[in-house]
């Protein structure tokens, strides 16, 4: 089981889960190697950083930039690259920890 399947299962069973995210697509909000805490939610908002699936591919920490009642949610990184529309969101980031400090928090 890969890290995405494990997190998806944790969110489905416990409503919360943790995973490290790597890369620079969410700078300066999140740094590569940030430990993220996710929670599942009945609703998601523009600006939420989410774990989702877009076009059959897992996206572990990108933002919702638009909502449409027919298309779902438009997902993008923090530099304007759009991943695409999805209706499949597993959870949102509520905490980001990096080098023993909190760098992101959203309840």
- Name residue 58's beta-bridge partners: 53
User: How many domains are there within the chain?
Assistant: 1
The angle subtended at Cα 51 by Cα 48 and Cα 54, nearest 5°, is 105
Is 107 a residue whose pLDDT tops 90? no
CATH of the domain at 51: 2.10.109.10
pLDDT tens column, 50-66 = 999 999 999 999 999 99
Residues 6+ apart with CB under 8 A from 12: 40, 90
Cα–Cα dist 57/64, whole Å: 16
What average pLDDT does the segment 22-36 reach?
A: 97
Q: Residue 29 belongs to what domain range?
A: 3-105
């Amino acid at each position: 089981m890969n890290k995405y399947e494990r997190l998806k299962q944790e969110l489905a069973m416990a409503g919360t889960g943790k995973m490290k995210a790597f890369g620079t697509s969410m700078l300066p909000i999140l740094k590569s190697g940030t430990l993220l805490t996710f929670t599942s939610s009945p609703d998601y908002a523009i600006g939420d950083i989410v774990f989702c699936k877009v076009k059959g591919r897992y996206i572990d920490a990108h933002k919702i930039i638009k909502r449409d009642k027919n298309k779902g949610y438009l997902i993008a990184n923090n530099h304007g690259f759009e991943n695409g529309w999805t209706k499949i969101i597993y959870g949102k980031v509520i905490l980001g920890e990096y080098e023993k400090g909190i760098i992101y928090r959203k309840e």
